[in-house]
Amino acid sequence: MKPYDYIIVGSGLFGSVFAHEATKAGKKCLVLEKREHIGGNIYTEEIEGIQVHKYGAHIFHTNNKKVWNYVNSFVEFNHYKNSPIANYKGKLFNLPFNMNTFYQLWGNEADTPTKALAKINEQRKAYAHITHPRNLEEQALALAGKDIYEKLIKGYTEKQWGRPATQIPAFIIRRLPFRFTFDNNYFNDKYQGIPIGGYTKLIELMLNDIPVITSTDYLKNKEHWDSLANKIIYTGKIDDFFNCHFGNLDYRSLRFEHEILNLDNYQGNAVVNYTDAATTFTRIIEHKHFEFGTQPKTIITKEYPQEKSDENEAYYPINDAKNQEIYEKYKQLASQQQHVIFGGRLAEYKYYDMHHVIENALNVAKKELMETKDEK
Ligand SMILES: Cc1cc2nc3c(=O)[nH]c(=O)nc-3n(C[C@H](O)[C@H](O)[C@H](O)COP(=O)(O)OP(=O)(O)OC[C@H]3O[C@@H](n4cnc5c(N)ncnc54)[C@H](O)[C@@H]3O)c2cc1C
């Protein structure tokens, strides 16, 4: 008999939720983690009393009451709501696009919802001939017109993707939601917040009493680990699992530059996007504002988008036709692996928000644990 029912590869949200549910159902689990810490990309580290989001800012939001209750059963969440600011060449705008933004862009020409809509329609009219946008630039101009595109979309998106907007596929922006109210709350979801004490605490509590081995790459000793468990829950990169048999899947990566500053408030907001092309980073995150912090110092992080290489992390899947075709081949192979369940953003090659990952992991665990209920 094998010592474990499940070996869970990866201690991010997917792996941790699965491990928690399986353990609760009486299964024996072992979690393996390649990095030296648990939590995957939601990992936060306390520095100067501030929870620093080490792999990019994470704001929890969901409409799913079950998921919200689930996370709150581990830690309490605060009432933080994301209201990013855009800085375009020193001028500040509220995001997402709402009445504040329109007023900042056009003043009295857009100080009522009717006037703002008329102004946007006038801006869009110049691009009415674009009925089949061939790239992101054409798509954004057709949806928003010149002012919004040039000041708030173009530079930021080009930095994110590392190429001109005319070479970025149009499907990246399918629609641009405009809000004709003075409401800067980025997400529309009913439940929003940040776990008090950080995301790492959330994961620690999910993995409470479950053995975890960090700094260990499952793929480097796969046969050994496979011999120890009936089933593997794999949350790493799907192309790596199959030795990149059909080639690498592409990702965009990010480089983070963290700074501790000897002042208590640097930018007055957690998230400021730099939407011009000349500033090489895309955003500055000031972590303490996620928790309404009053510490004497502050920590900021500049985010620089970059190409994915062997040295840097895979962040955003590039779900274009070429990569999607490769992924489908891996998915086909994965479906033949009876003893492996593939889950999470890397194994499914899909951008998921945290609430989606939790919902998926709960569903996968429920199905799996029902099927194996009576197995000893
Ligand atoms: C910059 C950025 C910002 C984001 N902001 C938000 C936000 O504001 N709100 C939101 O809801 N979502 C946000 N997300 C999405 C969120 O990060 C994901 O939904 C979530 O982290 C995915 O969890 P996961 O378990 O699928 O993957 P991960 O967190 O990546 O966990 C996978 C784990 O597996 C480990 N692993 C991989 N291969 C191996 C191996 N061979 N052996 C052992 N371990 C391995 C990895 O080290 C990692 O710890 C953001 C994502 C990014 C990139």
Give pLDDT tens digits for 146-172: 999 999 999 999 999 999 999 998 988
Determine whether the shortest distance from the Cβ of 231 to ligand 1 is under 6 A. no
Tell whether ligand 1 has an atom less than 6 A from the beta carbon of residue 235: yes
Prediction pTM value: 0.95
Question: Could you identify the atom of ligand 1 that is nearest to the CA of residue 32?
Answer: 43
Report residue 270's pLDDT band, with 50, 70 and 90 as the boundaries: very high
DSSP track, 215-230: S--GGGGHHHHHHHEE
pLDDT tens-place string over residues 302-348: 999 998 888 889 999 998 889 999 999 999 999 999 999 999 999 99
Query: Residue written as tokens 């995001």?
Result: 95
**Strands 316-317 and 251-261, bridge-based pairing:** antiparallel
Per-residue pLDDT, 376: 56
163 is catalytic: no
**pLDDT recorded at residue 319:** 87
Average pLDDT value for residue range 114-133: 96
Of 54, 354, 356, 363, the residue with max ligand 1 atoms within 8 A of its CB, to mutate for a pocket test, comes to: 354
**Is residue 84 within 6 Å of ligand 1 at its C-beta?**
no
Rounded mean pLDDT, 271-281: 97
Is the C-beta atom of 33 inside 6 A of ligand 1?
yes
Q: Could you tell me if the CB of 362 is within 6 A of ligand 1?
A: no
* Rounded CA separation 267/286 (Å): 7
What ligand 1 atom has the least distance to the C-alpha of 254?
1
- Residue bearing the CA closest to ligand 1, atom 1: 56
Residue 42 Cα to ligand 1 middle (Å): 6
Ligand 1 centroid to 232 CA: how many Å? 18
* pLDDT for the residue numbered 145: 97
Residue of 45, 217, 226, 252 with catalytic role: 252
Above 90 in pLDDT, residue 43?
Answer: yes
352 lines ligand 1 (CB under 6 A): yes
As a whole number, the mean pLDDT across the chain is: 96
Is the CB of residue 246 less than 8 Å from the CB of residue 239?
A: yes
Checking phi first, is residue 222 left (phi over 0); if not, alpha (psi -120 to 50) or beta? alpha
